[in-house]
Amino acid sequence: MERLQKILAQAGVASRRKCEELITQGRVKVNGTVTTELGTKVDPQNDAILVDDKPIHLEKLIYLMLHKPTGVITSLHDPQGRRVVTDLLTDIPERVYPVGRLDYDTSGLLLLTNDGELANRIAHPSFEIDKVYRAWVKGTPSKEAVKKLATGIRLEDGMTSPGEARVIEQEAQRTLLEITIHEGRNRQVRRMCEAIGHPVLTLERIRLGFLTLAGVKRGEYRHLTKEEVERLKREVVQKTL
């Protein structure tokens, strides 16, 4: 027996919080009866659960790590007909969704899953999951500029949260930076680098929390191990928003 809102989130209906709203709005039925009480325990194998009079479908939970190449959209479909990340999943029958996003021209580590609750918590900045990027930027940033990347930069949508930044390598016309953030704003790393006057030339996410791209070639993916999934859940699911 599990709480109703948890079962709805695991079925991919919506985030846990949104599922709670669906319940209190009277849009969920269990065995033909409208259920509005949060925390109601149900048996997903034996109870008939409907949302807006449509049955939910419990799929096997899938957790994938993709090494996203550039030139691929982090979406399930693209009106312009460009490749999307799910085009790279050649033998996954379940419908999975990207956790957060990587820009069209950004490569690196991307998680995909049909576990809605875990996905929403990983993406939520409250849990401060490290998102580590390697960025080749134009020119040579000063020590003060690199420090600003770490302590916070004012963008048009507000100050960025503190993170980390360091120089990895320097060449005549460009510099390789490693930048760690906890947020997931649109094109955040690129905008941060533009704000210090050193626009990004190439950008790759190399780590998400404890997960790295080790052993996963660009354009390929692998299933997370049971131990990795359990560790992710320990780090985010057991905390409270």
Q: What is the mean pLDDT of the chain?
A: 91
pLDDT (tens digit per residue) in 49-108: 999 999 987 778 899 999 999 999 999 888 999 999 999 998 888 888 899 889 999 999
Give this prediction's pTM.
Answer: 0.78
CB count within 10 Å of CB 96 equals 23
Name the band, by pLDDT with cuts 50, 70 and 90, for residue 238.
Answer: low
Cβ pair 22, 6 in contact under 8 A: no
For the residues 180-185, what does the mean pLDDT come to? 89
Q: Delimit the domains of the chain by residue range.
A: 2-55, 63-125+215-236, 130-208
Name the band, by pLDDT with cuts 50, 70 and 90, for residue 126.
Answer: confident
Say what the pLDDT of residue 116 is.
Answer: 78
* CA atoms in the 13 A half-sphere facing the CB of 177: 33
Cβ pair 12, 54 in contact under 8 A: no
Cα–Cα distance for residue pair 15/17, rounded to 1 Å:
5
Percentage of the chain surpassing pLDDT 90? 69
- Taking 3-state DSSP, the helix, strand and coil percentages for the chain, each rounded to the nearest 5, stand at 25, 30, 45
Active site residue 105: no
Dihedral angle of Cα 130, 131, 136, 138, to the nearest 10 degrees: -90
CATH superfamily of the domain spanning 130-208: Alpha-L RNA-binding motif (3.30.70.1560)
Is there a shared CATH topology between the 63-125+215-236 domain and the 130-208 domain? yes
Catalytic entry in 103, 105, 130, 157: 103
CATH T-level fold of 2-55: 3.10.290
CB count within 10 Å of CB 237 equals 16
Say what the pLDDT of residue 202 is.
Answer: 98
Per-residue pLDDT at 109 exceeds 90: yes
CATH T-level fold of 63-125+215-236: Alpha-Beta Plaits (3.30.70)
Better-predicted residue by pLDDT, 194 or 236: 194
Say what the pLDDT of residue 241 is.
Answer: 45
